[in-house]
């Protein structure tokens, strides 16, 4: 009989923990929606308040639902969580770093030099021709009459042989 009461006590304590965590999560979610949609809060502080509430909600989820505590039994869980945070930090931080460097190193569109247009029937010095997909051939067919090619390519004014859906290069005819 005593074991049954002990089990019910533990079950009630666990259920109370889940209910408290659920209540806190609902309260923080409602508070974040309130802060985002009201004029009662100073406008520049809204993003900071939302970040603080998001971090607090993550803490509530970790403690009340995932049961991350400082017990010695939870060492592996804490290490797994720390490793996951490291990976997320590296992916997000690395992506932001790459995008910021791309933004600094790429000139604006209006300052870029136009790339020389080369019709689809360009041949390299080895005589190989690579034909793009039919859609791009049709898209650029109006511009094929004018334009220049890079110095390593020689351009022909006529259209290449019939287009195929495969992207295999074909050997161009040698001019006599």
CA–CA separation, 23 and 50 (whole Å)? 18
pTM: 0.50
Top-confidence range, 41-45, 101-105, 114-118: 41-45
Give the range with max mean pLDDT: 15-29, 98-112, 162-176: 15-29
Q: Yes or no: say if 134 and 165 are a contact pair by the CB < 8 Å rule.
A: yes
DSSP strand pairing (122-123 vs 170-171):
unpaired
Q: Where are the domains of the chain?
A: 1-71, 115-176
Confidence of residue 54 (pLDDT cuts 50, 70, 90): very high
Instruction: Provide CB contacts within 8 A for 147, sequence distance 6+.
Output: 116, 117, 118, 119
H-run or E-run covering 8: helix 2-37
């Amino acid at each position: 009989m005593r074991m049954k009461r002990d089990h019910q006590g533990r079950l009630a304590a666990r259920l109370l923990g889940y209910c408290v965590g659920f209540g806190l999560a609902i309260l923080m979610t409602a508070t974040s929606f309130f802060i985002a949609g009201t004029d009662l809060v100073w406008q520049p502080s809204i993003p900071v308040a939302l970040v603080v509430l998001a971090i607090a909600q993550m803490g509530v989820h970790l403690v009340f639902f995932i049961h991350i505590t400082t017990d010695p039994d939870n060492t592996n869980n804490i290490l797994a969580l720390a490793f996951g945070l490291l990976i997320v930090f590296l992916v997000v931080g690395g992506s932001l770093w790459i995008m910021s460097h791309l933004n600094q190193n790429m000139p604006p569109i209006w300052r870029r030099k136009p790339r020389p247009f080369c019709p689809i029937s360009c041949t390299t010095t080895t005589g190989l021709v690579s034909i793009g997909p039919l859609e791009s051939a049709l898209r650029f067919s109006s511009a094929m009459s004018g334009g220049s090619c890079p110095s390593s390519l020689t351009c022909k004014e006529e259209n290449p042989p019939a287009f195929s859906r495969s992207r295999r290069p074909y050997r161009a005819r040698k001019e006599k």
